[in-house]
A and B are shown apart, each in its own frame.
Chain A
Amino acid sequence: EVQLVESGGGLVQPGGSLRLSCAASGFTFSSYSMNWVRQAPGKGLEWVSYISTSSSIIYYGDSVKGRFTISRDNAKNSLFLQMNSLRDEDTAVYYCASDWSYAFDRWGQGTLVTVSS
């Protein structure tokens, strides 16, 4: 069974840091580019970041550029998102999603990040 399981969310103060993880199973993780997509409470979806299979190509959305860092470990079938200088507006459920023809075909269940003092 294909699974993506996010972890690492929680409550953090503004200006703080958090590292999200996404554990993949049931498919050949190293063959798929990966993304992080987030959803603020009661709001729509926002693409956050992309990483290619070999980590050679990385993109970020304008709202997180310079603060977030995406990475992956193919040997451990894992995707990561290091989030620094967190702001109130970063509060959201963060999903990891695999890439298929420039679409997001498999999604995890999400992990909630709350930025608040």
Chain B
Amino acid sequence: QSALTQPRSVSGSPGQSVTISCTGTSSDVGRYNYVSWYQQHPGKAPKLMIYDVSKRPSGVPDRFSGSKSGNTASLTISGLQAEDEADFYCCSYAGSPWVFGGGTKLTVL
């Protein structure tokens, strides 16, 4: 199973919006509505931000939203804040395995 494709880096200024894409195939992202997104700060464990493509766990700000079209999922972060600077990973259920994206470094300028 190949990894999902994410941009290596994205950036934005405080208050702006950024979108991170996650491209898979018809066997993973395109087939299942089980795309999740994780935020990871340096030296910390990942944190679930979005599951089931667009659902937010309790405690995650509504500035974070997810969507999917075809084989590509997206995470949008609106009203960027300094503390949003982190690595973000997408993940898709793909039958018995799960497959992650390579990760995107978000820089808040």
The one of B36, B45, B101 in contact with A103, judged by C-beta atoms closer than 8 angstroms, is: B36
By Cβ-Cβ distance, the 4 closest A-B pairs, closest first, are A103-B36, A103-B51, A102-B34, A47-B98
On chain B, the number of residues with a Cβ less than 8 Å from chain A's Cβ atoms is 26
Residue of A44, A47, A105, A109 with most chain B CB atoms under a 10 A cut-off: A44
**Given A101-B34, A102-B98, residue A44 in contact with residue B3 (CB < 8 A):** yes
In terms of DSSP, what is the predominant structure of the interface of chain A?
Answer: strand
> Residue of B at shortest CB range from A4?
B45
What per-residue 1/0 map shows which CB atoms of A4-46 lie under 8 Å from chain B? 0000000000000000000000000000000101000000111
Report the bound CA distance from A110 to B40 in whole Å.
13
Q: Which residues of A contact B (CB under 8 A)?
A: 35, 37, 44-47, 50, 59, 61-62, 95, 100-105, 107-110
Whether A62 lies near B1 (C-beta < 8 A) is yes
Q: Is the CB of A103 within 8 A of B48?
A: yes
The residues of B that contact A107 with a CB separation of less than 8 Å are 45-47
In the complex, which of the residues B3, B52, B102 contacts A101, with contact meaning CB atoms closer than 8 Å?
B52
Q: Could you list 5 further interchain pairs (A-B, Cβ under 8 angstroms) beyond the known A103-B91, A104-B91?
A: A44-B102, A45-B38, A61-B97, A104-B48, A105-B51
